[in-house]
Each structure stands twice: as C-alpha cells, then as structure tokens.
Amino acid sequence: MNLPIRTLGVAPNAWGVNQDIADITRPPKTPQPVILSTETKTLRLDLAKTAILIIDMQNDFCHPDGWLAHIGVDVSRARQPIEPLQTLLPALRAAGVPVIWVNWGNRPDLLNISASSLHVYNPTGDGVGLGDPLPKNGAKVLMAGSWAAAVVEELPQLPTDVRVDKYRMSGFWDTPLDSILRNLGTTTILFAGVNADQCVLTTLCDANFLGYDCVLVKDCTATTSPAYCWLATLYNVKQCFGFVTDTAAMLTALNNSESTEGNK
C-alpha cells in the first residue's frame, strides 16, 4: 500500500516523507522573472527567489516621541520611506514576495549586548539608553515588545509577514535571518528602511558577503546622518555590494513581468 507523503519544512526547502521514503529533491518554485532597471544595470531577477527586508522602521527611530527625537534628532527624514513603502509593499505582497520586518528589539536583560553597543546609545552613561524608559511615554528604548521597538503605525504588518528581532546594526548577527531567507529559497534581497548608512548598509553588506544579490530601493530608505553619508552609501552599494533602484522602477517591473506578458 502506498503511504501518503507528508511535507516537512518550509517550501522550497522542504522534504516529502512517510515511513519508508524521504524525498529530498525539493521541487523548485515556479519562476517569476521580471526586468528591473537600476542605476547601473538592467537586472533580470526572479520574484520567486526575492524577499524585501524593511529595517528599523520603528518608533524609536521614526516617531517624534521616540528615542532619536528624544536626543534631538530631526526624524522627518527617517519618515520619508513611509509613503513609498505604503505603495510598494502591497504590490510585492500581491506578487508573492515575502515581506520581512527586521527591527531592533533587545532582550529585557540585555545579556547579549556589549558595552560598546550600549555606548552608542548612552555615551555618557547617565542618559536614556538601551532598555531605559523614554521620558515622554515610559516605553523602553529598543526593547522587544515595547512601543519603542514597534513598527510605525503607518506601515501595517500582515499576519503573512515575517518578523525578526535584531541586536546589532546588521540584521544577520546573532539572529535567525539567514536561516529564514534560505528556507524561503531567497537569493535576491530588496532593502528598505533606516538608517541607510548604518543598519541598512551593514545588513546589506553582510547579505552580500553571504552570497545574496542585493538591491537597495532608494526612496524606501533614508538616513538622519549628514548628506555625505547618504551619498557614500549609494556609491558603495553601486560600486561594491549590489544595485540601486527605486519604487517607480520596481512597480514597472512588477506590472510588466515576463509571466504576466506570457498570459496576455
């Protein structure tokens, strides 16, 4: 009697198993090739192997009552990606592209945070740093589960989205992000969020070092750093680590995919 085959794992990195058989062939996803214009080259990429990472679009960095605003930073620039993301994310979800929110969200005991990381947020030791309550609302700075670490309300998260807490500027250090991406069959990553020259860039660099294809969506990322930091980020991404595109080019690619053209 043929026993039913059951799935173990997350497609496309899944097995089919029963008492007698382990099918480890991992059938591929149906390709979804699109043509995407970037500032340096035209890319032909597969949406079925693509995910978007939205990095640190959270209250502590983007809200006028968050930590950055508390220390005197004008967060208006950190809010610039909100509107483009409101346009792009529904289109990516409709195309089946995984949406992954990578937010700084620490453990309450901060046991995996070094003194050097603490120093970035509290250089004098007597200010409001990681895990400390914000004077305006008592939310604990960048602590997982707090208002401070939550995504800004203008960017709704869906149950099908993926959430990853990070504890360094790079989203890959000490997190399950790489394992998640590989289980999803991801080879190309779109990057969005803040700050472009810090958490976005370090995550993008690590992705490049791990062998992923990296595409920065220019208007979906921003920084509160000086303009030369933004320009240097764009230069380095295009020169060393990947490609730079924008929402308009992404929407054009999504609306003119090869699979769509073939069905007309």
Q: Is 53 within 8 Å of 203 (Cβ atoms)?
A: yes
Point out the catalytic residue in the list 166, 197, 213, 246. 166
C-alpha distance from residue 208 to each of 106, 166, 220 (Å): 25, 18, 19
Point out the catalytic residue in the list 49, 56, 165, 206. 56
Backbone dihedral angles phi then psi of residue 247, each to the nearest 5 degrees? -60, -40
The rounded Cα 170 to chain-centroid distance in angstroms is 10
Q: At what angle do helices 247-255 and 82-94 cross, to 10 degrees?
A: 20
Residue 94's CB is within 10 A of a number of other CB atoms, namely 9
Pairing between β-strand 213-221 and β-strand 243-245 as defined by DSSP bridges: parallel
199 is catalytic: yes
Point out the catalytic residue in the list 62, 199, 205, 220. 199
Catalytically active residues, by annotation: 56, 166, 199
